Each structure stands twice: as structure tokens, then as C-alpha cells.
Chain A
């Protein structure tokens, strides 16, 4: 029979999101959540001690000489299963962390519990995009692109206008759009590619450098400015460097004041738990709330894997046919073959 503690432990299975404050390492967040959950699970009263049959040699009768000993069986509780001896019932809970956030950044951090960690893998295999809000300041450059770093350069910024900034942002977005098409490996002259692009479903197929899929200026008031970014495969350092480069493009310099992630795939900032709520009481409702999402992530991943299989086979066939029929397109077919081989590799 499952005890109360075991029932609670089984509920801790799935994905949920927390809001990581600035200046805290993600490992600390993970450990805090884990210790809080363990505390809750182990706080239930321990199960009743098991009894063990023990044979005791007791003197029979009133005279206790050695010949009159009798062995009596008695049921005594054993101490070896006592919670002070055997330790707490649960010693660890699998808590996995999604796309990382470094100590300087804050925002939505997805955590997986128990079997939910597999869904976490599926989530990041599907190349979900993430939203960030970056706050920057013109006028100086530091060694680590943050406002707390060592200042290595100061510059003027009065010449910058919002038009100029938006011009630069458009340029960066254009370059990234091009990179996205290149890494998504679809032929641009097909109906399929058109449909994907219309839906905004283009995403890089394999590993790729960070790609920005959306970039706009939210707020501009010299020397401060705020950008909203959607991107895939990014790191927070890359985003800070992006601000630095924006500054350089504008014939000035810029540092980053704040990196805040407002969305990670389907996990939005509204549903993230603040650090006051990193307890079992708040986490379990959150996990059940995201149960649907988790299921969907798993299903999509399975579908994608199947599709990839199908595509690889189809491409193999096409590649073979083209090499047989048209020697002129040899090179193209070769590249397709390479692509399908890479596919196979990635599957293995």
C-alpha cells in the first residue's frame, strides 16, 4: 500500500517553470527546489516499525539453571528500519534544468521532475524559441558586456536617434533571417517552405549558432533602451554581446543592464513561480497545470522523430534516383546524400 509520502512523491513528475531572480546561480535554484521537495516528502510520519521474530533464551520456572532454559519466540519491533537509523525515506528527487540562465540574467527557468526530464529533452529537441527583454545603456563598454563589469571604454551617444537604432536592428534581423533559412535546410522554392515561412515555423534543423528570429525596440530614451528578442540556440552572453554590437554599429558603445527571459517555449512568465513559492504546496498545482503541455511536447517530439525518419528515407531514394538518371545534378544529389547521412548520424 502506498503511504502518503509515496503518493506525494509520485505526484512530483512533470514540468514546471520558476522565475529565477538575478544574481542567483541556476544550480542554487535547482538545489533549493530539490531540498524543499524532499523536506515536504519526508515530513510525513514514518511507517510503523517492522516486527521481527526473535528467539530469546529465557529461564523457565523459578530456578534459572542452565538445563532449564527454553527458547521462546517473541515478536519485537526492529530498530534497523527506524528513520533515525536508516535515514529519510527519500534521499533524492530528480530535478532537471531546461535551457540555462546564467547568474546575471533572470527570468523563466523550466525545471523537470522525475520522468518529466525526458519531456525536457523533447522540448529542446524541437527547437523552441525563447523571448528575452534586454535593457541596455549607451555610453560605455565593459569587459563582460554587463554594467557591473570593468569599464574599458567610454563614448558619446547624443547622436543616436531611435530611427538609427531601428535601422541597425533591421539590418541585424535581416542577416539572421538569412542564416535561419540556411540552417533550416529547406529549399526556398517549394510550397512547403512557403507554408512553413508563413506560419513562422522555420527553425534550424540541427545544431546552429544563435539565431534571432525577432528583434524590436520597445523603449528608447537616451542613454537607456530596451529590446525585445526572440531567438533559438542562444546563450545569455551572446545576447549581451548583441547589445555591445548594436552600440558599435551606432558609432558608440553599449552595456547590458538586464537580461530577462519572458518565455521559454510554451512556458510563460505568468505561470512561473517566484522564489517565495518554491515549495511542494505551490509546485504540485503548477506541475498539474503544465501536465497538458508536457503531454503535447512528448507527442510532438514523437511525431517529429517519425517525420525525420520518413524524410531521410525519401531523400535517400531521391538521391539514388538522381545519381542514376542525371549525372549533371551529381553535386546536388551528393549534398543531399550528405544531409541524409547526417540525419542518420544524429538519430544514432
Chain B
């Protein structure tokens, strides 16, 4: 793969003069090589400048805020400089040969002095009609046009098999490259060695083909996780009597699930079963429906449970019912939850038992509940107690789309509802 040797281009530029000398003996020198060579402005300050080069590059990367995809640049640089030390003598000879005018300058042992005085006219340029032998033609290597430092994966995608395959899978590289360190991680991956075993693993789990792309867009780190770990976590979940379909659904719903250790998952599962007081089957149901619970922190969940219990005043069994019906309540924003409950309970006058019966209300948007309730109130149809003849269930209040709500629940046209919205 080209990318494993992505400093090759850089190396090439450095070694060109050396090669040029060899070719010079043969009768032609690539002017390109000279140009490449002269283009390195940092070389001017040799030797102190050159030693600082890699460091300076790093600083540049940091100060410009450019994420450095080639972050292990320091080592190739060192290698280059070593090669340079060895080839120094031969280089001096080259310059003597090429420019007889600058004897005095080149008598200094220092290299850059000679380098700055090379004029391109003195280089014998090969005629385009000159014939090159087959052997030489093969030896001419064109450096791959890959930039050593870049802030986007676009430069690499045409050259890297891994990235190409990932794009074909539907992985959103544009989103991934904006995350820290993900770009360089992806570039380093080898498709045959790293990626395909994990893809086969996911497929064996039962993750659908269409889900693979979005999954990897969410969690590219699954490609660096070791297979034994992944296998171990899946077998842990299966030992907890999650069915294989459930595991597949969980993995595609919460892509980070398999990146967490078994202890952590065990900890979470134990916590939910204990705190909610649910049976094993119900806990499995809740976790299967919202596998995010196993990935995130426990603290907000604890807080939400306390809010439900102390602030809202739900009883234990009511909370159990709410959670098993709408697990999202556990991860909802505390402030929003409070706002909705406050409105539903205090303004709409819905008792706790009814809210526990229709917990979808707690999951709905506040502005939606508010507008609809005020509209029904204005029409005189806001009756939420089931015994009332014109009873409107909370479920119908929040879950129907606007047009259906207007025609079926409020029994007016959508235009009237909009006109009412503009008086709020």
C-alpha cells in the first residue's frame, strides 16, 4: 500500500540529487529532481535548520491548527538526514561537476552553500527525442503525489484501498475526518488485515449490510478493537440470555456497545435490574430497546430516576411501568422532562396515574403539547379524564401529526389551528 510509505515522496525529493548525479554520468539529469530539491526552503539553514526541521514542521502543524495526518513524521526525517550524512561527499562531487563557476563557494564543506548556487542552465537537460533504454525507463520512479501533511482524507482516498472500500460500504469519511485522530487511524488500517475480519465478525453477528456503513461512521474504533475482545463481549451478552437478533439490533443501534469492557456492561446491567427492580426479562427488554443505556454514564440515569421519584412524586411501580414502556425517559434531559411534567400535571391537570398510563407524553416536545392543549382549551375540548364523554387520550394528543390532530381530535381545519398558533 502506498500509504504505509507515505513519506516516500518526501524521501524521493531528498535523494533526487544523488540519483541525478548517477544519471548525469549517463548523460542526462532530470530537471524535475533539481526542482524538487531546490523547492525545500528549510534546507537553507543547514545544518542547525535541518536538525530542527521535524520539530518545526510539528510546530507549524500545531500553530496552523491543521490536523497532521502523518504524525509519525519525525522518524522518517531522521532517516533522511542519516542518508544525507552518508551521501554528503558524493553530493559535493556532483555540484563540482555541474557548476564549475562556483569553486570557491563549494570549497566550504557546508552543503547548502553549494545548493543555493546551482543554476539550472548548467544542468544538461535531456532532449525529449533522446531514447532511453528500457532498463533506465524502469528505474525512473515517479513519486506518488501524496502530501505528507493534509487535513482531509480526500487526498488519500484514491490511493488507499481501505478508504475506497469504506466509502463503498457507505462510511461517511467526511464526518469521520473531523474527529480527532480518526483520520490518521483510518489511513493506517490495512483492509485485508484489519478491516475485513471485523466486517465478517459484524456480519456473522447478524448486523445488516445497510447498517454497516452508518455503524462505522458512528464508531470507527471498532476497527481497532481486537477480535477476541469483541467475541468475548458478544458471548457475555449471549450468556445473559440476549437472543442473537437482540444482540445484532443492539450493536447496530448503539455502535459503541462492543467497545466497552465486559465488567462495565455487567455493572450497567446489574444497576438497571437493581435500581428499577425489574425482572430479568423486562430488563433485557428495556436494554434491547435502548442499548445506549449500556454505553453512557450512570449518573444522569440515577438523577432522572430521583427526579421521577422525588420531584414528580411517582410511585415505584409507576416508574417501572414508565421505564418499561418508554426507556428514553431515563436518558432524557432533566430540565425538559421537568418542564413537560410541570405543564401536563399542573396546567393540564392530568393526575399521576394517567401520565403513568401514557408515558409517551414525557417524551414529546413541550411546544407541541403546549400549543395543542391551549388550542383544545380554547375550543373547550380539553378533557383528559377517561370518564368524560369527549375524552381525548394523551396518546392521541401528542403522537398524531398536525393535520390528523386537527381533523380527528380538534375537529377543525389546519388553517384554523395555524391562525390560533399565531395568537400565542
Which A residues lie at the B interface, using CB under 8 A? 19, 21-24, 52, 66-67, 69, 78-80, 82-88, 106, 260, 269, 272, 274-276
Which residues in B have their C-beta under 8 angstroms from that of A87? Answer: 174-175
Q: Is the CB of A79 within 8 A of B167?
A: yes
The reply to whether the CB of B171 lies closer than 8 angstroms to some CB of chain A is: yes
> Interface of chain B, helix or strand or loop or mixed?
helix
The reply to whether the CB of B308 lies closer than 8 angstroms to some CB of chain A is: no
The reply to whether the CB of B102 lies closer than 8 angstroms to some CB of chain A is: no
A-B contact count (CB 8 A): 58
Which residues in A have their C-beta under 8 angstroms from that of B174? Answer: 83-88
- Which among B108-116, B151-159, B377-385 touches the partner chain? B151-159
A302 and B194 alpha carbons, distance in the complex (Å): 65
The reply to whether the CB of B29 lies closer than 8 angstroms to some CB of chain A is: no
Q: Is the CB of A66 within 8 A of B138?
A: yes
Interface digits, B161-187 against A, CB 8 Å rule (1 contact, 0 not)? 001100100111111000000000000
Which residues in A have their C-beta under 8 angstroms from that of B366? Answer: 23
The reply to whether the CB of B422 lies closer than 8 angstroms to some CB of chain A is: yes
Q: Is the CB of B418 within 8 A of A85?
A: no
A86 and B171 alpha carbons, distance in the complex (Å): 12
Q: Is the CB of B155 within 8 A of A80?
A: yes
Which residues in A have their C-beta under 8 angstroms from that of B421? Answer: 19, 21, 274-275
Q: How large is the interface on B (under 10, 10 to 19, 20 to 34, 35 or more residues)?
A: 20 to 34
A275 and B421 alpha carbons, distance in the complex (Å): 9
A274 and B415 alpha carbons, distance in the complex (Å): 11
Which B residues lie at the A interface, using CB under 8 A? 134, 138, 153-155, 157-158, 163-164, 167, 170-175, 366-367, 371, 402, 418, 421-424
A80 and B158 alpha carbons, distance in the complex (Å): 6
Max count, chain B CB within 10 A of own CB: residue among A24, A78, A272, A276: A276
Closest to B423 in A: A260
Which of A83, A85, A272 contacts B157, CB < 8 Å? Answer: A85
Closest 10 pairs between A and B when the two form their complex, measured CB to CB? A87-B174, A80-B154, A79-B157, A274-B421, A85-B173, A84-B172, A85-B157, A274-B418, A84-B167, A19-B422
Which residues in B have their C-beta under 8 angstroms from that of A276? Answer: 402, 418
The 15 sampled A-B contact pairs (Cβ below 8 Å) are A22-B424, A23-B366, A52-B158, A67-B138, A79-B167, A83-B174, A84-B170, A85-B157, A85-B163, A85-B173, A86-B154, A260-B424, A274-B418, A275-B421, A276-B418
Do A269 and B422 form a contact, CB below 8 Å, given A84-B170, A85-B153?
A: yes
A60 and B285 alpha carbons, distance in the complex (Å): 62
Which residues in A have their C-beta under 8 angstroms from that of B418? Answer: 274, 276
Closest to B414 in A: A276
A269 and B170 alpha carbons, distance in the complex (Å): 45
Q: Is the CB of B422 within 8 A of A80?
A: no
Q: Is the CB of B167 within 8 A of A106?
A: no
A87 and B153 alpha carbons, distance in the complex (Å): 11
A82 and B166 alpha carbons, distance in the complex (Å): 12
Q: Is the CB of A79 within 8 A of B422?
A: no
A23 and B158 alpha carbons, distance in the complex (Å): 49
A96 and B245 alpha carbons, distance in the complex (Å): 48
Which residues in A have their C-beta under 8 angstroms from that of B171? Answer: 84
